[in-house]
Amino acid sequence: MSEVFQLPRSEKKLVVWHLVIAVAALSVGGLFGLFQALNYGGVDLYGFLGKLGLKSYYQGLTLHGVLNAIIWTTYFIMGFLTFNVVYGLKRPLKSAKLNWAGFWVMTLGLILAALMILSNQASVLYTFYPPLKAPWIFYLGLTLLVVGSWIEGWGLAWTFFAWKKENPGVRSPFIAFAAVLTFILWQLATLGVAAEVLALLLPWSMGLTQGVDVELARTLFWWFGHPLVYFWLLPAYISWYAYLPRQAGGKLFSDTLARLAFWLFLLLSVPVGFHHQYLDPGVPPGWRYIHALLTLSVVVPSMMTLFTVVASLEYAGRKRGGKGLFGWIWALPWKDPSVAAQLLAGLIFMFGGIGGVLNASYNINMILHNSAWVVGHFHLTVGTAVTLSFMGISYWLVPYLTGKPLPEKVARAQVWFYAIGMTIFSQALHSLGLAGAPRRTPLGNAPYIPPEWQGLLLRVAIGGVLLATGLYLYIYIMARLAWGKAKKPVTVEPPVAEALHDPQQTPAWLDSWRPWVIGAIALVVLAYTPVLLDLITNMVPVDAPMMKLW
């Protein structure tokens, strides 16, 4: 085996610190998830938690949403993207200092926002819909968090394009290409929420303006809110396309279509935000329908991903001796926890994808909007497809970084606890939603619960306990990989898959940035300008009520 490329010292430390904060956030955020699931099952711990300083279910829910959906994901992703750029290009960052600066700006933002949430001044959930009003420090924290991630991303793009200049005519390595593309998507998406916070919420919370138009704020938020989902997903896809096939003993089925799928995700994931606003009175129905069509177009790159990933795995399974129509599935290395985590994540994600098509289906959404179904849905997507894949990734990435061996038995149990718990939990939430139960509600305390919901609520709690067991086994494994003692250091090679066909055969237009990025921007402009102009010209600024609501 040839020498394994090691990240330069500063880059390595940077990746490690991203993972430390990500895992720490998940360990706190996950705890509140457990309390919420228990509340559904009739075990209410909030009286006890009150003695420890927690003010309400909703303060806990804000922590759960912000720490799990924003902090765990963003830190893990920025760390993983950094790894993919540096390892993929076998080249140090153009300026590690710049990326470190981005990291510190992000972290300062995290601290400010966390202080506001922990002191119960910002129990506004992770969507922070106005006119719920948090102190300006909270919005400043969010701003710094996003700006810090931009700085890091600019550093990554700078490194990538420096490499392109140094290597004219060579196809960029897929993992580095996909990492930079993921950041460009994030950049385009976060412009919406940056506009919401900087133009509306920050001046308003500082007392400079009297109110905010809530529909305008929602529109800018969801410009960001949906592509956020793809910012979560694409790093998992990077792993499914470029690492999982190698881990399973095979190759990437098609480098060409992998790149094409990523470009289509960039084009189609931003101009679709109105599918979160199908039931908003202020968005014209025709525009909601246009966004519905654009949303459904994501079916095409998603199905391409399904094909390529399954084909790569089938290739691996058959090489391992799997026979027959489905025999190759059992021949895959299910005993490898990293592989099992990602296979289960992908399998569960198929249901998430089908549910997503229903959510996006315009009028069907009337049954599902803001119901417990949605909570079930995004626990399959960000909670499993993304999170369980990230767990699987960390099972080789962290040993690579720390040189300590993975405790395989615990990791194997972890994966199955998490997947089975999530299946029970999420299935029950989907059913509750169809029965009419709302999301964001402590259903264990709601006065209107019909007896038919009780069995489902109990299943949420049971699934939640199994899920939390899986989650804390993961935290335990990460702690062992960080602080445990290893008898002798191990060398782990990051499992980057080769493509079945030489990437050099991939057409140049799939490795050129300008047309795609311009296309993506143009689509956003077309999809949003008319409605934004209408909302801005007809603004109804609304202030927060005098009474504090939480």
Partner 1 sequence: MHIHELEKRWIQISIALLAAFAVLIGVAAFAFGVQVPTLERRVDPTRLDEDPVWSNPGVREIVPGEQYEVYLISKAWQFVPRTIEVPAGAKVTFYITSADIQHGFKIVDTSVSMQVLPGYVGKVSYVFREPGEYMMICTEYCGLGHAAMYGVIKVLPPQK
Residues known to be catalytic: 226, 230, 377-379, 439-440
Among positions 69-88, residues that touch partner 1 (CB under 8 A) are none
Of 135, 139, 75, the closest CA to residue 107 belongs to 75
3-class SS of residue 143: helix
Name the minimum Å distance from CB 149 to partner 1. Answer: 26
Radius of gyration of the chain, Cα coordinates, nearest whole angstrom: 23
Which residues fall within 8 angstroms of residue 428, CB to CB, at 6 or more apart?
376, 456, 457, 459, 460, 463
Name the minimum Å distance from CB 421 to partner 1. Answer: 25
Using CB under 8 A as the binding criterion, the count of chain residues that bind partner 1 stands at 72
Among 137, 162, 199, 542, binds partner 1 (CB under 8 A): 542
Whole-angstrom Cα distance, residue 289 to residue 271? 12
Cα–Cα distance list, 544 to 97, 157, 368 (Å): 41, 41, 28
Q: Which segment (195-203, 284-292, 395-403, 520-528) binds partner 1 by CB under 8 A?
A: 284-292
Residue 289 makes contact with partner 1 by CB under 8 A: yes
Q: Report DSSP state, residue 6.
A: P
Among positions 458-477, residues that touch partner 1 (CB under 8 A) are none
Among 20, 56, 319, 320, binds partner 1 (CB under 8 A): 56
Name the minimum Å distance from CB 448 to partner 1. Answer: 5
Name the minimum Å distance from CB 117 to partner 1. Answer: 14
Q: Which segment (3-11, 74-82, 163-171, 499-507) binds partner 1 by CB under 8 A?
A: 499-507
Among positions 306-345, residues that touch partner 1 (CB under 8 A) are 307-308, 311
In one letter, which amino acid is 24?
A
Q: What mask, x for binding partner 1 by CB under 8 A, covers residues 11 to 50?
A: ----------------------------------------
Among positions 108-127, residues that touch partner 1 (CB under 8 A) are 125
Among 92, 203, 282, 403, binds partner 1 (CB under 8 A): 282
Do the beta carbons of residue 68 and residue 31 sit within 8 Å? no
Name the minimum Å distance from CB 67 to partner 1. Answer: 17
Please say which residue, 27 or 441, places its beta carbon nearer to partner 1: 441
| One-character DSSP codes across 471-484 | HHHHHHHHHHHHHP
Whole-angstrom Cα distance, residue 512 to residue 203? 40
3-class SS of residue 319: helix
Do the beta carbons of residue 368 and residue 433 sit within 8 Å? yes
Name the minimum Å distance from CB 410 to partner 1. Answer: 37
Which residues fall within 8 angstroms of residue 115, CB to CB, at 6 or more apart?
137, 141
Please say which residue, 254 or 389, places its beta carbon nearer to partner 1: 254
Among positions 213-252, residues that touch partner 1 (CB under 8 A) are 213-215, 218
Q: What mask, x for binding partner 1 by CB under 8 A, covers residues 421 to 450?
A: --------------xx-xxxxxx-xxxx--
Among positions 505-534, residues that touch partner 1 (CB under 8 A) are 505-507
Among 47, 168, 207, 281, binds partner 1 (CB under 8 A): 281
Among 146, 156, 178, 257, binds partner 1 (CB under 8 A): 257
Angle between helices 174-195 and 136-166 (to 10 degrees): 150
**What would the 3-class secondary structure string for 195-248 be?**
HHHHHHHHHHHCCCCCCECHHHHHHHHHHHHHHHHHHHHHHHHHHHHHCHHHHC
Among 92, 131, 203, 322, binds partner 1 (CB under 8 A): 131
Residue 438: strand pairing partners: 371
Please say which residue, 166 or 543, places its beta carbon nearer to partner 1: 543
3-class SS of residue 273: helix
Give the CA angle between residues 471, 477, 479 to the nearest 5°: 105
Among 8, 53, 489, 545, binds partner 1 (CB under 8 A): 545
Residue 324: strand pairing partners: none
Please say which residue, 42 or 545, places its beta carbon nearer to partner 1: 545
Please say which residue, 206 or 293, places its beta carbon nearer to partner 1: 293
Among positions 132-171, residues that touch partner 1 (CB under 8 A) are 132
Among 32, 35, 138, 253, binds partner 1 (CB under 8 A): 253
Name the minimum Å distance from CB 362 to partner 1. Answer: 5
324: burial class by Cβ within 10 Å (0-12, 13-18, 19+)?
Answer: exposed
Q: How far is residue 368 CA from its own chain's centroid? A: 21
